[in-house]
Structure 1
Amino acid sequence: MPVPLSILDLAPLVAGGDVGDALRRTLDLARRAEQFGYHRYWVAEHHFTPGVASAQPALLLGQIAAVTDHIRLGSGAVQTGHQTALSIVEQFGLLDALYPGRFDLGLGRSGQAKKEALRETAKHAVPQEEQVVDGLLIPKPFSWAPIFASKRTALASSLLQQPGAESLPLDEILDQIFALLAGPYTDGEGNEVTAIPGAGADLEVWLLGSSGGESARTAGARGLPFAANYHVAPAKVLEAAQAYRASFVPSSSLAKPHLMVSADVLVAEDDATAQRLAVPFALWVRSIRTGLGAVPFPSIEQAEGYAWSSADDDLVADRVSTRFVGSPATVAEQLRTLQRVTGADELLVTTIAYHHPDRVRSYELLAKEWGYPFPVDQR
């Protein structure tokens, strides 16, 4: 049986659409994903992004839970850099109280990751070259440093935190989250408080990361499952997987490493149709890479009307070349290569298309090719 296949959804807006339309599409896709047999349905957290409606994972997950029955739901990922441990535990504790045992609490570092990216850029004087590892393309890395150092990023960051607030180190906020989930939370002097809702919640805690940095190492050291981003940072996926496994220590919840790897995919009935539907993706990625945030996903006609430069090509090359596009057989084979090379225990796929039926159809075709739906007791 192939490894489990799950979905990451950004609740993307499309050109000419609005937020309500994007969210209704997400609810419909989640219902379909459950019918198709996908293992998990995760939603992202992005802020100040014109083309992404998934800004508050817990709120969106509550709506998805209400229209689905059994598919696991989760965050990919809650950004710990501008939330307290208590707010995170209360949000997901509330979800678990209403829909017990269905939620994955996926955590990311956000603000801390920006600082690390700036340090890593300064440290690596010799750039990593593109390579192919056992059939898997590992492209040159993209540097986020100019975007993270921009005035727009500074403005966004100022609105995500109270004035003067400092993000807690990853280990510290994890300590607080686990202590609040276990309940009661004590200060060592006999004083205690209990998170209601939150204490006792049945959550599966994950860490997500885009490199072999702190998130990968911490997930391993704490014996937590880890999700590595091939779709966001394909150049660093092998580094992330290696760092996670090298640092892994068995925990009460996980006896051996458990790695999920993400990928951008688009499936259609044949390769030519898929390639046609994929045309707007490069223009959408360009909007992200220029630091303005993802725009509403363009139509094919809008994308074809854009005058590309060589600089534009370089800006999006790693994302476009590592997106798996084609017929069900073509994409399934590419996903099997990704799984084999990374040793992933699960795969997480994300698909964006201008027309909603094309996106739904992509997930349906892939699920059938993957062998879904599996019997419930085999998931």
Structure 2
Amino acid sequence: MTKHQPKHFHNIPLSVLDLSPINEGSQPGESFNKSVDLAQHVEKWGFHRYWLAEHHNMPGIASSATSVVIGRIAGATDHIRVGSGGIMLPNHAPLVIAEQFGTLESMFPDRIDLGLGRAPGSDQATAYALRRTLHSSPEDFPLQVEELQDYFKGTARVHAYPGEGLTIPIWLLGSSGFSAQLAAQKGLPFSFASHFSPDYTLPALHLYRKNFQPSEVLEKPHVMVAVNIFAADSEEKAKWLATSQQQQFLSLRRGQPTALKPPIDDIDDVWSIPEQEAVRQSLQSPATIIGTVDTVKEKLESFLNDTQADEIIVNSQIYHHEDRLRSYEIVADLMD
């Protein structure tokens, strides 16, 4: 492996990826209130961005109407950048997304990010319910991105009001090489979903950097990587907190998604050995970090230097709100 100059946290923006989890026994309204509270805390602690993700037909995720939730978070904060991580563009008419994000940018100038993904964020039946047709496919994604950019530039036959003429940073998101190559070709910043696709992280970043073409928005490659972090004041508690996300991935593997479950003392009681291997393949080190501040610092620095990322975005699917706040507070301490 090529030797790189070591990177340090004080030079690297840290951000938050929030799925606005719906806890078992709770309702979406409570999820949104907790997201607002988390956003206000992390803004105070120095985090750079607060992104929300589009998912559908998921009883444990409240951020399906992503643009609406972005507006709620931006309206409750002062300066942190708020955006999508991401909007699944094949689910939408690009004109609608241009108008929605044009509206957000008009309300909250210079604070809105538009991260785009090409996966449906759902199953086939849900994709049909969203689109009314399955004739469009993720392979149409490059044309959809171009159409969206044309609305912001004002070069499309139809005009997006609001939206036209606004400068809203567009990021491409991916968990494989497709979006990495497209982001490189278009000269856009790229965010990789290391938090559930760790094995493909380095190959995708290599593709992006190798093929990058400078554009009017970006002179050189710019990479953000996503990590899961479960930080606590003891190793035992951190491992306990992580069992909520492990149960969430287990329910997805079984095809029976659930609300976010409370942590349990022994995760081995609920999964078989093949299920354990499948879940841990998605939630493995180095992109899932579990432990105290010293463990988090060591593993996050190692991942940062392996990836040479320009930014890191942190996902923490933690059941109890106070534990989630504490986890992000521990991460924030690393920035000081």
TM superposition score normalised by structure 1 = 0.82
1:336 matched to 2:301: yes
Match of 2:274 among 311, 328, 338: 311
Does the CA-based 8 Å contact 1:46-1:52 persist in structure 2?
Answer: yes
1:286-305 matches, cutoff 5 A: 286-293=250-257, 295-301=258-264
Match of 1:269 among 222, 230, 233: 233
Structure 1 residue 246, shift from structure 2 partner: 1.2
Match of 1:161 among 127, 131, 145: 131
**Deviation per CA, 1:56-92, whole angstroms, max 9, x where unpaired?**
2111000001100000111011101121110110000
Does the CA-based 8 Å contact 2:15-2:47 persist in structure 1?
Answer: yes
Does the CA-based 8 Å contact 1:332-1:370 persist in structure 2?
Answer: no
1:244 matched to 2:215: no
**Deviation per CA, 1:167-214, whole angstroms, max 9, x where unpaired?**
47122112211111011523xxxxxx32101101221000000012x2
Cα separation, 2, equivalents of 1:320 and 1:181: 37
Distance 1:166 1:308, change over 3 A: closer
SS of corresponding position for 1:25: helix
Cα separation, 1, equivalents of 2:194 and 2:314: 10
Cα separation, 2, equivalents of 1:34 and 1:92: 21
Aligned length: 324
1:175 matched to 2:146: yes
Distance 1:270 1:2, change over 3 A: farther
Q: Which runs of 5+ in 1 are unaligned?
A: 115-147, 187-192, 372-379
Structure 1 residue 28, shift from structure 2 partner: 0.8
Amino acid across the alignment from 1:219: A
Cα separation, 1, equivalents of 2:210 and 2:264: 47
Aligned-residue Cα RMSD (Å) equals 1.8
Aligned residue number for residue 86 of structure 2 = 77
SS of corresponding position for 1:243: helix
Distance 1:263 1:273, change over 3 A: same
Does the CA-based 8 Å contact 2:198-2:284 persist in structure 1?
Answer: no
Match of 2:164 among 189, 192, 199: 199
TM superposition score normalised by structure 2 = 0.92
SS of corresponding position for 1:252: coil
Larger radius of gyration: 1
Cα separation, 2, equivalents of 1:82 and 1:304: 35
Cα separation, 1, equivalents of 2:134 and 2:253: 29
**Deviation per CA, 1:37-74, whole angstroms, max 9, x where unpaired?**
10100000000001000102111000001100000111
Distance 1:303 1:78, change over 3 A: farther
**Deviation per CA, 1:234-285, whole angstroms, max 9, x where unpaired?**
1111111011111100111111000000001111112222122223332121
Structure 1 residue 302, shift from structure 2 partner: 8.2
Cα separation, 2, equivalents of 1:305 and 1:335: 26
Aligned residue number for residue 257 of structure 1 = 221
% identical equivalent positions: 37
Structure 1 residue 218, shift from structure 2 partner: 0.7
Cα separation, 1, equivalents of 2:188 and 2:283: 31
Structure 1 residue 365, shift from structure 2 partner: 1.2
Structure 1 residue 305, shift from structure 2 partner: 8.9
1:86 matched to 2:95: yes
Cα separation, 1, equivalents of 2:181 and 2:268: 44
Aligned residue number for residue 133 of structure 1 = none
1:49 matched to 2:58: yes
Amino acid across the alignment from 2:261: P
SS of corresponding position for 1:51: coil
Deviates more, 1:308-317 or 1:55-64: 308-317
Structure 1 residue 364, shift from structure 2 partner: 0.8
1:120-135 matches, cutoff 5 A: none
